[in-house]
A and B are shown apart, each in its own frame.
Chain A
Amino acid sequence: MSGVLRQLSISEWDERYDRLKDNLKEPAYGGPLGRHLSDGDFRLNSIKFDNSAAALRLWNFLLTEEERLAEARRDGKKLVGTMKDLGTVPIIAYADPDVVAFYPDGAWWIPCVMELSAGLLDIADSLGIDESFCPVRAMLGAFVTEAHFPLPDLLICSAGAICDDFSAIAQRLAGLGHEIEWWEIPHRHPVRDPLERVALPGGFFAHRRQVEGVTAELERLKKIVERLTGNPLGEEQLRGSITAANTVRERLAELRQRVFTAPICPMPALEMLVAEMLAIHYCSDRDETVAVLDEMLETVDRRIAEGEGYFGAEAVRVFWINPVADLVAMNLLEECGGRICGTEYLFSHALDPIPTDLPPLEALAQMALADPMIGPAQDRARRVVSDIRRFGSQAVIISKIPGASHCAAEGAIIADVVREQCALPVLEIEVPPISDSVRSSLRTRLEALVEAAASVRPHRDDVLDKDER
């Protein structure tokens, strides 16, 4: 059987859940999605969801992280709040089975998901962090209210070549009395001498001295985690943690490859965005992350085999850059005739396999230095171009993060490189955490992009890498 699938509203999902529940095998955190509305996650009312059991599991997994963290604390595990590095430090933390790591940064979506009802941005305002800052300022409010995650036993934050917004907000958090262990991630600069140059996962290069420096910083963090737990972290445990991270990354790589290159979209944008986020922090349960991704892969494989999918084969294949503050924008693109075929949500380094033939901390240092945000914007643009070719994208959206210090310069550079090297239409948009007030203009802009891309639609072979053909 083949056909076009239809996304569901949350009420439709709850009706579907009632019909399916007797035959569903759900984990402990399972249940109807509608229950999250009573927790205040009002934005779910505006979202359209994939209709599969895999998506139900994914959303339930995402929306119950707070409960898992509370449970971990009750079980006597240590909670490590890791900030900004997006994917590196949790691998050290998870090497100890008595540690759970999470990203307080994730609070940046709370104003969206709870439709500003949690008051986190108001709290940030009251602390002098107003709307001229990136929405990650919601994190401050989450620490003040203690209503969205338990206060971690240890806070670790990368500093150095990170964005000023985050650095300033994290320092403000420290100023409120939350002690932070800072670690330095240097700016990744070009290296001319091939003997001094280290090839990083993902294709960038760093200077050998920078790899040594970051390795030393990670060694220091490892000792801090060891002091927290009282348990030494041996090389074997670190290797095990890297292997586990690579398992997640392999699943995600397969999922992205299949979804982004399928003739008809087998999994919508929002579910793919949430799945990608799992690679950073596992939503506080690494094993379950693999199970969630496996179920998504099964669903996608089945749909591709049966010719099922969303939006039809004519949907314009869009590459999306930067995470969007209002999740509804991803649905809106699909309503406008687009589908996501390629993403760069600021953490592509967390999707690449981590080297397994190096000492573990050196491998993680290489991964940290592969962060697209710590080097020249041109590096990031080149990686985007490479992925555009790999996935056959036909248009590019650069979603500027409101207030973010890096976006003004970076977006323009990436747009120029993409236009020059791929000759694709590029649209820069800025989406606030609740975008209802700009929805009509956003829709018009997205429709115009889709229309422009459809009118100059290249044959997919024109943009695919030779290896992909």
Chain B
Amino acid sequence: MTRAKRFAYSAPFVPAEWIAAHGCLPRFHRPSGVITDGPIDDRAGLCAYMRAFVNEVSADSSIDGLILTTTCDQMRRAVDLIADGSAKPVFLMHVPTTWQTSTAYQYYLDELDRLGRFLVDQGGSTPSNGELIDVMRGFERGRQQIVATPERCRGQALSTALNGLFEGALPPAPPTEVRRGVPIAVLGGPLSKTDCQLFELIHAEGGTVLLDGTENGERGLPGKFNARQLAGEPLQVLADAYFGSIVDVFQRPNNRLFAWLKGQVKERGIEGIVLVRYVWCDCWHAEVQRIREWVGVPLVDIDLNGIDGAARNTTRIAAFLEALR
């Protein structure tokens, strides 16, 4: 018996349910952070996270294809860079930047349709509505279990839990840890496994992370499915939960991100924000000052280069937390 094909993605706007409903395995891949050789060479101006993701996934024999998105220039252009050299099939999904119009919503639906055809070309099968609904219900139940334990919603623990869910074996919840310290939100672009050491660093320096607002953190989880519409229009419900609910800095306008952040800061009593962004990530970089002005809690801006985010930034984070205590 041949195993289902596994497709790796990084952007939260790729619905795992859609991949799974086609009989394939979704892999919400968080790269280790150690940039390996691969189809994308080291070159000035290229994002270290993008390189780590693409090269690592390309070398991973358990992964059969890549699904990248247009949510940032680096990921979008990665597809151009590997177009002629990738040994694995690559799909580039246009995630609309605008979100207030029916046109944008329709683009997203059209892209899901195109993704579906790609998966079928790769050996998947077109799901019936019933099959899609079953997968959606199963994944939503699993996600509810995950978010019920705050420790599972942060950093590497979240990707491990989600991938366990996708593979049919949700790992047991880690024991709840009582940590006291300055309530911190980590906000920004995606983090590699190595970058996730920042969470431990924050704890070590007297903070406690109550919100992972990074791209591959809690912020990237889809909204709840509309139970009443689910039976009749599952694909639309899926699109609502992902495209209609996830907020990100690349969206235009991106005021939903600000509203979400303000709400989370208030609800969780956040007293400081550690904003993390990879060098060359223009969308987060451009908003640092505005977030600082808007949210009303202290913020430290940490840039990552893919080598060792925690070690490089120990002094800054320590000083930031010392100032907050």
- Report A's interface with B, CB cutoff 8 A: 127-129, 132-133, 157, 159-161, 163-165, 167-172, 174-175, 180, 182-184, 186-187, 189, 209-210, 213, 216-217, 220, 376-378, 405-410, 412-413
Contact = CB atoms under 8 A, between A and B. Distances in A.
B5 to A, nearest CB: 20
Contacts of B79: 376
Nearest to B76: A187
Interface of B: 43-46, 70, 72-74, 76-81, 83, 92, 94, 96-98, 101-104, 106-107, 110, 114, 250, 252-254, 279-283, 285-290
A222 B34 CA distance: 49
B72 A164 contact: yes
A174 B73 contact: no
Contact of A169 (B70, B107, B286): B286
Given A159-B252, A182-B98, A407-B45, A378 B92 contact: no
Contacts of B290: 128, 172, 175
B78 A186 contact: no
Contacts of B281: 164
A412 B252 CA distance: 29
A407 B45 CA distance: 8
A418 to B, nearest CB: 15
Given A184-B107, A209-B106, A408-B45, 4 more contacts: A128-B285, A171-B287, A407-B45, A408-B43
18 contacts: A132-B280, A160-B96, A161-B94, A164-B281, A168-B282, A170-B252, A171-B286, A175-B287, A184-B96, A186-B96, A209-B106, A377-B77, A405-B280, A408-B43, A409-B46, A409-B74, A409-B77, A412-B81
A209 B110 contact: yes
Given A213-B107, A409-B77, A129 B252 contact: no
Contacts of B94: 160-161, 186-187, 189
Given A168-B282, A413-B81, A213 B253 contact: no
A412 B73 contact: no
The secondary-structure label for the interface of chain A is helix
A184 B285 contact: no
Contacts of A164: 72-74, 250, 281-283
A383 B324 CA distance: 56
Nearest to B69: A187
B86 to A, nearest CB: 13
Contacts of A172: 286-287, 290
Given A217-B101, A377-B77, A406-B77, A171 B252 contact: yes
B96 A128 contact: no
B286 A161 contact: no
A323 to B, nearest CB: 18
Contact of B98 (A174, A184, A376, A408): A184
A170 B106 CA distance: 24
A149 B163 CA distance: 53
Contact of B289 (A128, A160, A376, A407): A128
Nearest to A214: B103
A171 B254 contact: yes
A412 B84 CA distance: 13
A187 B70 contact: yes
Contacts of A186: 94, 96, 107
